[in-house]
């Protein structure tokens, strides 16, 4: 595949996008060595995939496990990459000492204290080196309510979100602070996200951006939805990061155990989806300042276990052998006439 379409892959994805936005990848410290060539050539931003998640970085009250996150931040600093910290508060990958039924953290006061310790310790340790934080992740309810019923919400109440942003701001006044969400291309969810952000802004909570996760598939989303979501958030006066982009070869409802004979056709659709997404992102590069993929290559993707455990997927721009895929060429090809204009 190398050399296809008239250029050698001596080109660099992030250099092609200079002047538009940064190009990122989610990695853990243990991945850096394996991916170092690709990271060096193609990416100028990295996100911590798991190393900064609560259960990993703060496994016991007052004890922080810094090894992996330190390595990641040192790597980002040394290689001059923008660093996205992910994530200070999320309802998953939480440690037992907070969530078990035997937990002794039960009052609003104590829960706020734990939250403050967590956020202040982490953000101040990486002050000036982690450029932005997903302060809260997936806090909007997908079904009945407005905010998701998490441990933080149940004990502290709705203002836990305000407090989280304030604690982060105090610990590093220059870091950009984000709310990160999925499915915001769907109308109802998008309205909830905007309502929350408007409330926060009214209360002068320091929020600078919205993260659009972007876990997509070859059949979803429609480009008009992608545009509408970006335009809606831009009207709130915040910057936008695409934080977790991947394009599954399976439609979400497809629960077959593996790909069928139509794999080639699916790869073509993936290539086209990537082309169209990046075409739209480029059109909004005044507000979209970072586009990050949720992984580097198809050898390691969370989609191998979701929504079907153990089913191989291939949602990224590099293949299982870390070689560039057609989708990579597609996003580096501006105005590629074979895809037509995005609808």
Of the pair 246, 279, the CB lying nearest ligand GLA is at 246
Nearest-CB residue for ligand GLA: 302
Q: Check if 158 is active-site.
A: no
Count of beta carbons in the 10 Å neighbourhood of residue 284? 18
Of the pair 27, 330, the CB lying nearest ligand GLA is at 27
Question: What is the residue whose two structure tokens read 């035997």?
Answer: 102
Question: Tell me, what DSSP letter sits at residue 130?
Answer: S
Catalytic residue among 181, 229, 244, 272: 244
Helix 187-202 vs helix 223-234: crossing angle, to nearest 10:
10
Helices (H), strands (E): how many in the chain? 12, 9
Catalytic residue among 49, 138, 181, 272: 138
> Judged by CB under 6 A, does residue 213 bind ligand GLA?
yes
Of the pair 91, 282, the CB lying nearest ligand GLA is at 91
Question: Phi and psi for 239 in degrees, rounded to 5?
Answer: -85, 160
Over the window 20 to 59, marking each residue x when it contacts ligand GLA by CB under 6 A and - when it does not, the resulting string is: ----------------------------------------
Question: Phi and psi for 200 in degrees, rounded to 5?
Answer: -65, -45
Out of 45, 69, 131, 137, point to the residue binding ligand GLA (CB under 6 A).
137
Nearest distance in Å: CB 280, ligand GLA: 21
Nearest distance in Å: CB 189, ligand GLA: 14
CA 104 to CA 100: how far, in whole Å?
9
Out of 31, 51, 181, 244, point to the residue binding ligand GLA (CB under 6 A).
244
Nearest distance in Å: CB 151, ligand GLA: 17
Q: Check if 244 is active-site.
A: yes
For CA atoms 47, 52, 54, 56, the dihedral sign is: positive
Are the beta carbons of 218 and 247 closer than 8 angstroms? yes
Of the pair 121, 304, the CB lying nearest ligand GLA is at 304
Among residues 171, 318, 193, 186, the alpha carbon closest in space to that of 252 is found at: 186
Nearest distance in Å: CB 204, ligand GLA: 26
> Judged by CB under 6 A, does residue 267 bind ligand GLA?
no
Cα 160 off chain centre by: 22
Q: Which residues sit at the interface with ligand GLA, rule CB under 6 A?
A: 86, 137, 182, 213, 244, 302
- Active-site residues: which are they? 138, 244
């Amino acid at each position: 595949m190398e050399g296809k379409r008239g250029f050698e892959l001596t080109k660099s994805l992030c250099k092609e996008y200079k002047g538009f936005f940064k190009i990122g990848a989610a990695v853990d410290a243990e991945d850096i060595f394996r991916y170092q060539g690709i990271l060096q050539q193609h990416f100028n931003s990295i996100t911590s995939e798991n190393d900064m998640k609560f259960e990993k970085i703060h496994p016991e009250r007052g004890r922080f496990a810094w090894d992996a996150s330190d390595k990641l931040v040192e790597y980002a600093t040394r290689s001059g990459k923008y660093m996205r910290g992910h994530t200070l508060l999320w309802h998953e990958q939480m440690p037992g000492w907070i969530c078990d039924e035997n937990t002794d953290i039960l009052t609003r006061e104590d829960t706020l204290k734990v939250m403050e310790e967590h956020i202040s310790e982490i953000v101040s340790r990486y002050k000036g080196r982690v450029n932005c934080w997903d302060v809260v992740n997936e806090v909007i309810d997908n079904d009945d309510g407005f905010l998701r019923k998490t441990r933080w919400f149940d004990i502290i109440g709705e203002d836990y979100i305000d407090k989280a942003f304030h604690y982060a701001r105090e610990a590093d006044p220059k870091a950009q602070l984000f709310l990160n969400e999925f499915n915001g291309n769907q109308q109802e969810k998008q309205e909830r996200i905007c309502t929350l952000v408007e409330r926060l802004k009214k209360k002068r909570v320091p929020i600078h951006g919205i993260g659009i996760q972007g876990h997509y598939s070859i059949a979803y989303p429609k480009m008009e939805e992608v545009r509408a979501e970006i335009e809606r958030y831009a009207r709130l006066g915040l910057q936008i990061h695409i934080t977790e982009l991947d394009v599954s070869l399976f439609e979400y409802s497809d629960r077959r155990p593996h790909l069928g004979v139509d794999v080639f056709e699916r790869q073509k659709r993936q290539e086209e989806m990537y082309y169209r997404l990046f075409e739209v992102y480029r059109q909004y590069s005044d507000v979209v300042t970072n586009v990050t993929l949720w992984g580097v290559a198809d050898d390691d993707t969370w989609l191998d276990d979701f929504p079907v455990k153990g089913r191989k997927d291939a949602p990224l721009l590099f293949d299982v052998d870390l070689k560039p895929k057609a989708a990579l060429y597609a996003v580096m090809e501006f105005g590629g006439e074979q895809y037509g204009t995005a609808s």
